[in-house]
Amino acid sequence: MFDSGFGGLTVARALIDLMPNEDLVYVGDTGRYPYGPRDLGEVRDFALEITEHLLRNHDVKMVVVACNTASAAALDELKKITPVPVIGVIEPGAAALLGASRNGRVGVIGTVGTIGSGAYQRAVTQHNAGVELSCAACPGFVEFVERGETDSEQVHVLAERLLAPLVDADVDSLLLGCTHYPFLARTISDVMGRDVVLVDSADATAFCVSDLLREANALRGDTDRGGVHRFESSGDVEAFRALGRQLLGPELDEVVGLTWPESGN
């Protein structure tokens, strides 16, 4: 699985909890984060490069794109060219959002790349649920998370400004359409109000992964050892270990450095 940085750890947590016996390789592309403001073509190239690395060097049986921006940019292509199943976070997230709403007014927040791609607008339309969807990009949120600053006055001020259109739209459920945002859930909930249900794609994605593995007869059942969890980062390895461990938990013990020869990193 991969993300631009720490965000995908929200999905990793759900995967480890649901499937403790599975081995996991997590790539945090912190050397090239944030993905959100980049051209989608560039993000697509990063996603292809990381997937190639996971297949070649780790012989993975499935790839989880634990990043909305990369899912928006590359999921369709990855599904076509990758010899193992590839799962993104957008479709599971959209389904969870629709399941949570009572009044039919729903919201999605994400990076500039994700919201601008129209991927959520398409995913929600496909469900034909007749809901009113409001979307907002939240530039800056990811940078706060990557700095480990999830509860500061500054992030609160930014959230009040960026979330105002969704408060005005009176949504009753809000999808955190960027895997970094669950780390800001407290701030987002303070701004949106306690009645608004915050939905994230982590659990829904983990259930999709386990269903798919079960159908393919590839789920590791009870074994006498738990899964092995490996973490790799293209940025500062020590910084990834320190903050990653705080965000994910004790499974993140060691971090291996990565470089991307193709792009020169």
Binding site for ligand DGL (CB under 6 A): 3-5, 7, 33-36, 67-69, 111, 114, 142, 178-180
Measured between alpha carbons, how far is 108 from 32 in angstroms, rounded to an integer?
A: 25
- Catalytic-residue membership of 135: no
The DSSP result for 201-215, as a single string, is HHHHHHHHHHHHHHH
Per DSSP, the chain holds a count of helices (H) and strands (E) of 11, 10
* Residue placing its CB nearer to ligand DGL in the complex, 143 or 190: 143
- For the bound state, the minimum distance from the C-beta of residue 178 to ligand DGL, rounded and expressed in Å, comes to 4
At residue 209's C-alpha, the angle toward residues 127 and 26, to 5°, is 120
Tell me the closest approach of the beta carbon of residue 209 to ligand DGL, in angstroms.
Answer: 16
Q: How many CA atoms lie within 13 A of 231 on its CB side?
A: 28
Which residue number, 3 or 203, has a Cβ lying nearer to ligand DGL?
3
Say which of 67, 135, 138, 208 is annotated catalytic: 67
Peptide bond into 261 cis (omega under 30): no
Query: Which residues partner with 136 through β-bridges?
Result: 109
67 is catalytic: yes
CB of 116 to ligand DGL, least distance (A): 12
Please identify which of the residues 135, 138, 178, 208 carries the catalytic annotation.
178
Give the nearest distance from C-beta 114 to ligand DGL in angstroms.
5
Q: Which residue has the tokens 């090239």?
A: 32
Which residues are marked as active site?
A: 67, 178
